[in-house]
Structure 1
Amino acid sequence: MHSIFHLKRQDRIGWIGLGEMGYRMAGNLQRYLVSRSLSMTVWNRTPAKSAKMHQKHGVRVAKSLEDLVAQSNIIFTSLSSDAAVEEIYETLIYLAGLVDHSIIFVESSTIYPGLATKLKERLAVTPQHTYLQCPVFGRPPVAKAAKLVWVTSGDEKAIKKMCLYFTTMSKSIIHLKTTNVASACSFKLIGNFFVVGSMKLLAEGFTLAEKADVSQESVLKFVKAFFPAPSWIEYSQKMVKGGAASKENGFSVDLGLKDVGHMRQLAAETGASLPTADLAYNHLQAVKESGKSDQDWSSMISALRVSSDLDAEAVATAAAVASVRSSPYIPNSPLHQK
């Protein structure tokens, strides 16, 4: 038992990305590390977030990515987009080739499968390092409560070592038991498809209730009683409030478009039909084109309300709905833009 604890004491953890998810995840991990007389080093593109993390949780703030790599043998990344992940890993992979110690990289973002494969292959040039693709399910409040669902893919031995740390941030772990890191990305997109599909279903139901003069509050009570899933209740409450909820503690329209775009591209590449994602993408795009991309993605209901003549003031949204309805658009992965 003593030797295992000693091994964990040798871990030097680095964290990159302190957005709404990363900040809360890193905070939970840091609390565990402090309880074991350990700590972590953090780096964020916005220095103020690193400073806040230091003040609240006592983490060490890296002077640069070079400093973080030199100080860490485990590095978590939690970033908002494929472009950000590719940019950060371009530097990390270069720096990893300059150090003598081995590093386990744990990438937890929602990215396109091909990008994960590309990063693993590039890192394999320096074989002492390991790349794991381990995305998470859950919104910021879930991350804060340490009740995320982790998904693992990559080297089995490295994953076994990391599970101790994953449990400090989650309620459960789904092991895909594969070294194919693209599988975890596909899994995350499928999971997010269930989320956006459910959200679209709720949006249509609440819109129909409004048109039929049925109390939305009564429908909300039905959802709570018959479909008591936390996500269904949360999105239903946002929609009943008008579908214009802030992205704070949520998921913005822009990020929703990124994820749904990835789902549609994966469907196109695999020959699957995903009409629900096509419709959800169009509604989200309409909300974005009306200037509301900073809202929570549950605001897709506003596009449905416009097309149902329930929002006379949203002329811009109505025009956007009309413009995207005729020609669905599947965005290219960042991998194909270079």
Structure 2
Amino acid sequence: MSDLLHTALHAAKAGSDTPPAVPYSRPASPGTGGYPVQIGFVGLGAMGWVMAKNLANHRAAHVHASPPILVWNRTSAKADSLFEELGQHKVRVAQTLEQVVTECDVIFTALANDETVKSIYQQFVQTLKHTPPARNKIFVETSTIYPTLAGELDVLVSSVPHCHLIASPVFGTPSVAAAAQLVIVMSGDYRSKQQVAYMLVPGVGKKVIDLGGNIEKANTFKLIGNSMILGTLEILAESYTLAEKSGIAANQVHDLVKDIFPAPGITRYSERMSTNNFDGATGFSIDGGIKDASHIRRLTAVHNSPMPSIDIAHQHLITARAIHTGHVEAGRDAVEVLDWSGIVAGTRVAAGLDAFESKNVHGVVPED
């Protein structure tokens, strides 16, 4: 009821011309058959951990008799820390993937790369073919993967009776996720999208964008969106490098960014570049950035739609990772995980500057 009231109030405030946060009618009942829906969450990285936390908190507060969500991560410490923070009434820790896939009605996955996603789903299906489900089971794949992999997963999952897959990548950094302001994209089975959308909004995200029944479309859309973000990162990196070379202070450039590009993600990456803060532990790893850039470039080749800025950004990401790897191997002080805002290292070294230790942080560079 509180979800319904929230949605109604939000719509009333927004006005009739504003699209609804969820583009589907509300399901007739919150579950599938009148029993409490058991949710599972696989993958507790920087984004998955926050999404699972918000989902658990929201359901405990707003869904009557909702059981604790069942979480699993390759390294158990992440799952244990979530359990310690939220407690047994909101979270249970699964011992195996088999436990998640057999016990849960809706299973979210948030994983690092295509290879991991494919491996996890193969394990899901192998388990379910030995113990076929007796009722509907929905898989919600939120990772950024190449579109054709979503199609492969759909064929794999639908080979098991009563099982459905929706592609549901999200836009936003971990800090945006913490504020439950993610933009969620969905494609695939309509009824599954309808049910899952109301699980995620407003507890995990602020809106859902529906891309229709072709399951590959959501991941295509995600790559298009990430091309905009990556292209902006490249422009920021080049601009900060030019500012340093021409004697303009980084903090002044950052103030300008906040004035003319006041989007949270852009200003956050700008702040990282302006202060040499490239710790990816709470951001987006450069490995993930290179993976996404590679997917975007592959997509542009398939559709004969060149994106030169992404080609350049891809090279600068690789340059930054190579320098960071060299620092780690040499025992130099370096962050454990390099954020993809570290792309600026590629433009800096091309201009003859230090990769990660700009001297242009606190003031204007003195003129000769």
TM band (smaller chain): 0.7 to 0.9
**Matched residue, 1:300:** 343
Q: 1:75 is matched with which residue: 97, 101, 107?
A: 107
Distance in 2, Cα, partners of 1:25 & 1:129: 23
Residues 222, 61 of structure 1: CA spacing in aligned structure 2 closer, same or farther, 3 A cutoff? same
Distance in 2, Cα, partners of 1:96 & 1:312: 49
Say whether 1:227 aligns with 2:285: no
Shift of 1:313: 9.5
Structure 1, unaligned stretches of length 5 or more? 315-338
Distance in 1, Cα, partners of 2:301 & 2:76: 39
Aligned partner of residue 238 in structure 1, secondary structure: helix
Residues 287, 5 of structure 1: CA spacing in aligned structure 2 closer, same or farther, 3 A cutoff? closer
Deviations 1:200-226 (A, max 9, x none): 111111111111112222221111112
Q: 1:131 is matched with which residue: 165, 169, 173?
A: 165
Distance in 1, Cα, partners of 2:238 & 2:265: 16
**Matched residue, 2:84:** 55
Identity of aligned residues (%): 37
Deviations 1:220-256 (A, max 9, x none): 11111121111221111111113x5100221111111
Shift of 1:185: 0.7
Deviations 1:10-65 (A, max 9, x none): 21111111111111101111012222332211111111111112222231112212
**Matched residue, 1:65:** 97
Of the structure 1 ranges 185-194 and 61-70, higher mean CA displacement relative to structure 2 is found in: 61-70
Counterpart AA for 2:84: Q
Q: 2:50 is matched with which residue: 17, 24, 27?
A: 24
Distance in 1, Cα, partners of 2:246 & 2:292: 32
User: Quick check: 2:348–2:355 contact (8 Å CA) kept in 1?
Assistant: no
Residues 89, 5 of structure 1: CA spacing in aligned structure 2 closer, same or farther, 3 A cutoff? closer
Distance in 2, Cα, partners of 1:261 & 1:210: 29
Aligned partner of residue 268 in structure 1, secondary structure: helix
Aligned partner of residue 63 in structure 1, secondary structure: coil
TM-align CA RMSD:
1.9
Say whether 1:241 aligns with 2:310: no
**Matched residue, 1:173:** 208
Q: 2:182 is matched with which residue: 148, 163, 180?
A: 148
Deviations 1:127-175 (A, max 9, x none): 4110000000111111111111100101111111111111110011111
User: Quick check: 2:172–2:265 contact (8 Å CA) kept in 1?
Assistant: no
**Matched residue, 2:330:** none
Aligned partner of residue 242 in structure 2, secondary structure: helix
Residues 312, 186 of structure 1: CA spacing in aligned structure 2 closer, same or farther, 3 A cutoff? closer
**Matched residue, 1:4:** 29
Distance in 1, Cα, partners of 2:162 & 2:337: 41
Shift of 1:6: 6.6
Aligned partner of residue 153 in structure 1, secondary structure: strand
Say whether 1:112 aligns with 2:146: yes
Distance in 1, Cα, partners of 2:240 & 2:164: 47
Counterpart AA for 1:192: N
Counterpart AA for 1:304: T
Of the structure 1 ranges 68-77 and 284-293, higher mean CA displacement relative to structure 2 is found in: 284-293
Aligned partner of residue 294 in structure 1, secondary structure: coil
Say whether 1:189 aligns with 2:189: no
Residues 307, 91 of structure 1: CA spacing in aligned structure 2 closer, same or farther, 3 A cutoff? same
Residues 32, 187 of structure 1: CA spacing in aligned structure 2 closer, same or farther, 3 A cutoff? same
**Matched residue, 1:319:** none
Shift of 1:269: 1.4
Structure 2, unaligned stretches of length 5 or more? 2-27, 326-335, 358-368
**Matched residue, 2:125:** 93
Say whether 1:271 aligns with 2:304: yes
Deviations 1:185-208 (A, max 9, x none): 111011011001001111111111
Counterpart AA for 2:204: M
